[in-house]
Amino acid sequence: MQDYNPEKASVSENISAGIIHESNETTHISIIDAEGNMASITTTLNGGYGSKVVVGGAGFLLNNEMDDFSVKPGTPNMFGAVGGEANAIVPGKRMLSSMTPTLVLKNKKPYVVIGTPGGTTIPTAVFEALVNIIDFNMNASDAINKPKFHHQWLPDEVLVEKDFNPTVIKKLQAMGYNIKEGGTIGRTEVIRLLSNGKRETAADKRGDDSVAGF
């Protein structure tokens, strides 16, 4: 519509289909209710529009998570993950999944509910956020919004976000690591129960994430 002029006829042959950005097809929600019950839910279509099959009369798409199986050993899937015979397609079997919805207890009581979308980067993003909270005692906002990195064995490279510490990058490169600057890693949703009974959370800066309490 950028070149649309309501006062002048358009030339049809000059009009072509637009290019619409399709986001990653995984989403996550972290919940704690008034009684302290926790739920961490990750759901996905996997690739863009999933299997591109809509359930008749229901209006939702089926995913294409068959791609998470190993078609054959040594062949990467759409995320570059390389599997083996253990993840081969077998009737009645569940495929390998990166989904990492997580509940954390402290002294046998609810402490953290966390999860994220992000394909193969999901376990990395969740683990790094938990380390930030548990080991470095960061607040929820810092724990999820600090720059992240990711390594998944193959391809043999370390993916870093654009705001990653350049000094750390140089030290890693000096050790022989292949550093690749990429897009965002995850969109982590976390809630932490503080010792005073309050709940601490934050919206990940990497997307249109939000928090709500009632």
Catalytic residues: 26
Q: How many degrees, rounded to 5, is the angle at CA 175 between CA 172 and CA 181?
A: 30
Kindly list the distances between the CA atom of residue 195 and the CA atoms of 43, 110, 144, in Å, as whole numbers in the listed order: 31, 11, 20
166 sits in which H/E element: helix 166-174
Residue 154 half-sphere exposure toward CB, CA atoms < 13 A: 10
Cβ neighbours of residue 164 under 8 Å, at least 6 residues apart?
A: 147, 148, 149, 181
Of 99, 103, 101, 126, which is closest to residue 37 (Cα–Cα)?
103
Decide the pairing of beta strands 25-32 and 38-46: antiparallel
Kindly list the distances between the CA atom of residue 86 and the CA atoms of 4, 79, 90, 136, in Å, as whole numbers in the listed order: 55, 18, 10, 36
> Cα separation of 130 and 186, whole Å?
14
